[in-house]
Chains A and B, each alone.
Chain A
């Protein structure tokens, strides 16, 4: 049999294409949700064939108004809710077909408190480790590590119902970390937590993410999502209305808003063409102007009207403005 002659350039090109295709087919997402639907027994359609892919190592925000389907989605990912149809894979393992393997990758901090309030924090964490097959010696070491990191070590032997609200939330984070998950899901972890503790929790989770854990966060504090997350999906009425990276999403905002502190009181909002002003109080003015417009134009307009500005800052929650545009305006977030 005669060997078929092949041009070396064609061979190299074919190999490159094959390798590329192979890599694409083997690409493993931290979370892969395909055509997922959930209809509850009472007929409520919580998820309407949603698809979502979360890259390994990303810090992903899942936002939406109350009742949008966030918690249902998290419930299905963590196997607490049965899907009506569709598929969920965690690091390639199907939650429906390979539940044990998929669950071994996940750490979940749920919205509601779900630990035995009569048990002590150390007991709760060591037991949780046991459910993941971690022996007691290792479990005790990890419990110490995470309780210390979350400033709960001195409360380890206190009955957990006596802990404050913030401590209980941190306890659930420590519990979710004990199996050192590859995917950490935080469902409103900072709800009802004061700003100081909230920031320390952000630091902790940011560090976890930097060390390689993929994080999915749902929160009602949009500045939290803006500050922490690199990717975002917005869900509304059981559908994904936007799924992109944070930078791209914020880039779609064509108007920028500044908060101005005034030297003298102002009772009537200034009227300037191409700009929009809103008085927060008589000494604080919000100015919104198109991104392409220079700040000099703003200051010269205000100067012309005799408005003296003491200081200025960017309105922090740009995401909030976009969020309200993307979901129903009337919804409560």
Chain B
């Protein structure tokens, strides 16, 4: 098929996804803003005052990058899994499956839609954080690139979950039992330097640690991990998940009989 057809198809999927996000804004954008406001009030303001400094910053400033990253991860994953599984469950994914669009355009369209929600939510949380503290961005390019790469990785992870899911329970299992624990243990609220050495080593197996710290480096200029490692880890996950998604879409696993 010509590139023009693919481009129009891609734009259509993105437009449809963004329309969906905005149509149900009360479910997509508002809840993370409320949750994060509560985190800022309770952890940042009330408890944070007693904690004092962390990584050379006051605790409120320290948790801002982690909380933004947590919202981006949850929103990108959540958008993909609910939208794609919803389309599969309601059978309107067939509209795309019978179209001439190749698998990579379908993947790119849905990933861009999930990124759109991740970025929207990330911006809202950043604006909320400005009500509580002052943030000076140290490395804007690193901040933006880490945010985009993280969003891409979790959007594709959401697609894998949606493809294998057969009922709505199946799309709740991974976020509840894997994603949330890894996020909380990924250095959102603390520096791993506070942990005993053995747990520091265990923490380095958590990919979210690299994403949170990469983003923290972009904003605050401090990180528990080498920034280069963060890019390598995100790159590896992005390539692996993209290959897996394309293979699943191409073979029609979970989608075609």
Contact = CB atoms under 8 A, between A and B. Distances in A.
Instruction: State yes or no: do A and B come from one complex.
Output: yes
Interface string A109-120: 010111111000
A132 B100 CA distance: 6
Given A75-B257, A103-B98, 14 more contacts: A80-B94, A81-B257, A101-B1, A110-B94, A114-B90, A116-B90, A116-B92, A123-B19, A127-B16, A130-B9, A131-B99, A132-B9, A133-B100, A175-B95
A28 interface: no
A175 B97 CA distance: 14
B11 A80 contact: no
B174 interface: no
B221 interface: no
Nearest to A129: B12
A244 interface: no
A113 B99 CA distance: 17
Interface string B70-109: 0000000000000000010011101111111110000000
Interface in A91-143: 99-101, 103-104, 106, 108, 110, 112-117, 123, 127-128, 130-135
A37 interface: no
What 10 pairs between A and B have smallest CB-CB spacing? A130-B12, A133-B5, A131-B99, A114-B91, A100-B100, A104-B100, A100-B1, A81-B257, A103-B100, A116-B92
A213 interface: no
B191 interface: no
A55 B193 CA distance: 73
Interface in B1-53: 1-2, 4-9, 11-13, 15-16, 19
A81 B256 contact: yes
Contact of A131 (B4, B9, B87, B252): B9
Contacts of A13: none
Contact of A82 (B9, B90, B256): B256
B252 A82 contact: yes
B26 to A, nearest CB: 14
Contact of B257 (A82, A99, A106): A82
Contacts of A133: 1-2, 4-9, 100
Contacts of A135: 8
Given A116-B87, A116-B90, A116-B92, A132 B256 contact: no
A248 B9 CA distance: 45
Interface in A46-105: 72, 75, 78-82, 99-101, 103-104
B8 A134 contact: yes
A40 interface: yes
- By secondary structure, the B interface counts as helix
A131 B256 CA distance: 18
21 contacts: A75-B257, A79-B98, A80-B98, A81-B256, A100-B100, A100-B102, A103-B98, A113-B91, A114-B91, A115-B95, A116-B92, A127-B15, A130-B8, A130-B13, A131-B9, A131-B12, A132-B5, A132-B100, A133-B1, A133-B8, A175-B95
A63 B256 CA distance: 24
Interface in A250-283: none
A288 B2 CA distance: 59
A127 B1 contact: no
Contacts of A128: 95, 99
Given A100-B1, A100-B101, A130-B8, A79 B95 contact: no
A117 B90 CA distance: 8
A82 B5 CA distance: 24
Contacts of A100: 1, 100-102
Nearest to B23: A118
Contacts of A115: 92, 95
Contacts of B7: 133
B190 to A, nearest CB: 42
- The listed residue with most A CB atoms (<10 A of its CB), out of B4, B11, B91, B98, is B98
A180 to B, nearest CB: 13
Given A115-B92, A128-B95, A133-B5, A80 B100 contact: no
A259 to B, nearest CB: 42
